[in-house]
Structure 1
Amino acid sequence: MSNITIIQSGEAVSLDPTGSGFAHGCGVFETMKLADGQLCFWEAHWARLSYSAETLGLTHDCTIDRMQEALSELVRKDSIREGTLKISLLQDGTDTRFVIYARPTTQAPDSVRLRLDKTNPLNAESALAGHKTHNYMESMLLLKSCRASGYFDVIRLNTSGFLAETTISNFFFIKNDQLYTPALHTGILPGIIREEVIKLTKQLSITVKTGDIPVEEIEGANAFFLTNSSVGILPVDQIDGDGIQFKADSTQHPVVEKLSLILAQSEQENSQILI
């Protein structure tokens, strides 16, 4: 049976430095929002992790019920109702090992600025494309660099030159009453909130266009925003790079406001009580 290691606040865990989980980053993970003792979009997170694990050969015998019990135990022992829960599935010798722990809630500003990055394209043909793996150093280096220069994140292109994603979020923009977001075949992560936002647009009768989107298509956009499980929808008010600058009052855009409202409702409807 696959081992589940629960790391409580203030504790640490040892890893074999010769094992592939540590030495090669052979692992997948999920980062999930805990709100008022409820785990948001739990079933979708587990399904994504299970798909990646199967695709990448990280076999395990853990069921969704067993993992949910372990997460409930973690929440009870740490006495938390708000925060972020993380599941990592690591290669551990010839077996795999789950490690779970909590961290404080991510605090994000009301809106952010992005820097367009054309020098570190996302490889849509990579075997790891579309999977949330522990091979995260490239993204973290880009994130560190852009924040040192006053930006929240970078918006990346893929190797074909089309818009992709940021280092930690999916990207959307609104133009001519349509919602645009890069397609999954561009190599982006199939974000849980990205998928939920696309579903929720039906309630607002908004057309969603996915596909290969050139940078020039952003020109004239009325709003931009990012999505991830920690912050939900995060408005973007400016994108800079290579002699271009795109601005929008995204925070006040009615579609962004409405999507944020119905996403919060959907979050409650698709949560699993842990305590």
Structure 2
Amino acid sequence: MTGVDVLWAGGWLRDPAEPVLRGDDAGFATGLGVFETCAVVGGRAFALTRHLHRLAASLAALGLPPVDLDEVRAAVAAVLDAGGDGLGRLRVTVSPGAPGGHARPSLVVTGGPAPVRGAPHVVRSPWVRNERSPLAGHKSTSYAADALALAAAVRVGGNEALLADTRGALCEGTGSNVFVERDGELLTPGLATGCLPGVTRALVLAWSAEAGLPVREAGPDELPWTVVEDARQGRVGLALTGSLRGVVGVEVVEGVAVPVGPLTAEVARRFRARAADDLDP
């Protein structure tokens, strides 16, 4: 093991280059599966319990067989132990397994270094999130649309793409939730837009409420897609939240430098402090 690239599948640690899924596994053949990604902090997976609860909920919502969460925790522990200090991210992937009435779900846990990103730079995607899709709100392995949207943003210098829903409301990024700082408040799109119920998003809402900060979920018409142009013009601020990003203020919108709002900066500071005190909130 290199300490920075670790894979667990089928009950034990394996060479990361080793094939671990059958060709007829539904996760490979159709993209039917779910995953969770955690930051690794001090050798532990941050907010693992919340991630596993969401994993189980997504499996149930999509009609997929449940996975043994004790087995997942054991696999996570093995990967963290083998990876050592080099690990910065951990991913748990579950698919239904091969066809057949007695098939067991396929469970794969991987660990690697944390991604290296520059200043948060968002680009509007020409594609939308379908809030009526059965996959909306779940971390599905059917991830090609997000990968293509992100690739398009990267080609023009960005490192995240923002998506609207089909009704013209701001929804989310390809791998992050989005917040808008406007008129002294920090607002995030509601789940009805099809955005992911992000773990970091939920913690920001809860911890900000405890601190008495004006951070809340937006109403149905409060964050139209045009708010991204307002951000590019400097009239509002944007922030991104995610398991690997934490809470970060957007610094560039489609090539235009924009300021990070004071409330965003305060929420980010408080999130870092709370997260450091409790790695499994």
With normalisation by structure 2, the TM-score equals: 0.85
**Amino acid of the residue matched to residue 33 of structure 2?**
G
Question: Aligned residue pairs: how many?
Answer: 261
2:161 paired with 1:161: no
- Displacement of 1:267: 1.8
Q: Which residue number in structure 2 is paired with residue 224 of structure 1?
A: 238
2:224 paired with 1:214: yes
- Displacement of 1:4: 4.6
State the Cα deviation string for residues 220-251 of structure 1 (Å, max 9, x = none): 644211111001012212334xxxx976311x
The 3-state SS of whatever aligns with 2:226 is helix
- The structure whose residues are more often strand, as a share, is 1
1-structure distance, mates of 2:138, 2:113:
24
CA contact (8 A) 1:174 1:221 kept: no
2:263 paired with 1:255: yes
2:21 paired with 1:15: yes
- Give unmatched runs, 5+ long, in structure 2: 1-8
2-structure distance, mates of 1:6, 1:195:
33
CA contact (8 A) 2:67 2:105 kept: no
- Displacement of 1:121: 1.3
CA change 1:84–1:5 in 2 (3 A) is farther
Aligned pairs (5 A) from 1:52-67: 52-63=58-69, 65-67=70-72
Q: Which residue number in structure 2 is paired with residue 103 of structure 1?
A: 112
Aligned pairs (5 A) from 1:106-117: 106-109=115-118, 111-117=119-125
Same amino acid, percent of matched pairs: 24
1-structure distance, mates of 2:277, 2:15:
29
State the Cα deviation string for residues 120-169 of structure 1 (Å, max 9, x = none): 11100001100001000111011111101111222111111111111111
2:98 paired with 1:88: no
User: Which structure ranks higher in relative contact order (CA pairs < 8 Å, sequence separation ≥ 6)?
Assistant: 1
Q: 1:27 aligns with which of 22, 33, 37?
A: 33
- Displacement of 1:10: 3.8
CA contact (8 A) 1:27 1:89 kept: yes
CA change 1:37–1:264 in 2 (3 A) is same
CA change 1:185–1:76 in 2 (3 A) is same
- Give unmatched runs, 5+ long, in structure 1: none
Q: Which residue number in structure 1 is paired with residue 136 of structure 2?
A: 129
The 3-state SS of whatever aligns with 1:156 is strand
CA contact (8 A) 1:28 1:132 kept: yes
With normalisation by structure 1, the TM-score equals: 0.87
CA change 1:120–1:7 in 2 (3 A) is farther
Q: Which residue number in structure 2 is paired with residue 49 of structure 1?
A: 55
CA change 1:194–1:123 in 2 (3 A) is same
- Displacement of 1:207: 4.2
1-structure distance, mates of 2:12, 2:177:
29
- Displacement of 1:108: 2.4
1-structure distance, mates of 2:75, 2:104:
19
- Displacement of 1:265: 2.4
